[in-house]
Copies of this chain bind each other. A is one copy, B any other.
Amino acid sequence: MDQSANTPTIGFGSRVRKSPFFASTRSWGCNAFSVYNHTYMPIHYGDPLQEYQQLISAVTLWDVACQRQVQISGPDATRFVQLLTPRNLSSLAVGQVKYVPLVDENGGMVNDPVLLRIREDMYWLSLADSDVLLWAKGLAWGHDFNVQITEPDVSPLQVQGPMATDVMQAVVGAWIRDLKYFWFRETDIQGIPVVVSRTGWSNERGYEVFLRDGTRGNELWDIIMAAGKPWNISPACPSQIKRMEAGLLSYHNDMNLSTNPFELGMGKFVDLDQEADFIGKQALKVIARDGIRNRLLGAYIDGAPLPVNEHRWPVTVDGKAVGELTSCCYSPTLEQNIAYIYLPAILATAGRKVTVQTVVGERAAELCELPFVKNRAGDNAS
């Protein structure tokens, strides 16, 4: 990515936290950051496209310490955590992970973390960018929950890419090959306490390593980098291209408090029939009964590779503004521009042609169901 004189700069200050891996990311050449959960988040090491190639062909190490944890523990932890999400957690075992949309009393998305059941009565929410610590503490206030709600000293790394299992075997041992998708194990790495889960923000093979001692971040980084050398490990950051190819959504980009899970195609994570109560149950029942007003779909956009959108772009049909493009990128693997588009449910049908007002002019686009496919003419019907 060219670093011209006009590339906007960021200031480092004590208002925003530095990750335990900050010094490592800087010494490995990271010079581009954003802020996420009040923490500096590395966003690329100079060339996001090269990082994407490394991610799909070898293995990459990401500093995602900004993905903060909220820990809920105590005798009523299970009941309280269930209250936070419409997903039915009754089958969640210790050692298991689930993706859990969190919604407010209107059914609007508060966050979309993964949930780790660390012990019978202790959970971690591994968060997107909103203060779920305050949300959960507020909810607990004045009610009869025997829970402690804290932000523990836990900072994740992600090891993602086809060689991730080989690297992790070198780091933690052969048991990693038996770790099932969306399960985790507590262990240590040369004495550094960690939780290792088979999860991550790509659809490559991947792991998250949750560091449990913030003073040892750079030590852990170095261990993984050294172990990964035979597989050509390289530092990278969460990839907009890869997460879109995987059909993954991003909080604030593609959803917020005014979006509900049904609009996002997350109906499978909503159990309205479960006995347990959860926040937003009544509102989501009404939405389920009356139908959604808007929906998020995929789209293919014609023409030359588009830049990543800096803000939402207007979407029109017959010259009339109807919706918004929330995210887009050019996918080298699919060899086309892909996007998410949020628009009235009545217009949200795969195959519909719409127009996107991009930053480089009008572009024709075609709505599609997710995930995206390579040869859409042939495959879309399946």
Binding site for B on A (CB under 8 A): 3, 5-18, 31-35, 38, 43-44, 104-105, 110, 129-143, 240, 250-253, 257, 279, 308-312, 326-327
Would B14 and A34 count as touching, CB distance under 8 A? no
Among residues of B, the one whose C-beta sits closest to the C-beta of A134 is: B135
Would A308 and B137 count as touching, CB distance under 8 A? no
In the assembled complex, how far is the CB of residue A57 from the closest CB belonging to chain B, in whole angstroms?
A: 24
Would A31 and B15 count as touching, CB distance under 8 A? no
Among residues of B, the one whose C-beta sits closest to the C-beta of A46 is: B9
CA distance A15 to B238 in the complex (A): 13
In the assembled complex, how far is the CB of residue A97 from the closest CB belonging to chain B, in whole angstroms?
A: 23
**Protomer copies:** 2
In the assembled complex, how far is the CB of residue A108 from the closest CB belonging to chain B, in whole angstroms?
A: 10
Among residues of B, the one whose C-beta sits closest to the C-beta of A22 is: B311
Contact of A253 among B14, B136, B138, B308 (CB under 8 A): B14
Would A35 and B34 count as touching, CB distance under 8 A? yes
Known A-B contacts A13-B253, A129-B15, A134-B135; A35 and B35 likewise in contact (beta carbons under 8 Å): yes
In the assembled complex, how far is the CB of residue A134 from the closest CB belonging to chain B, in whole angstroms?
A: 4
CA distance A143 to B139 in the complex (A): 10
| Cβ contacts under 8 Å, A16 to chain B | 34-35, 252
CA distance A240 to B14 in the complex (A): 11
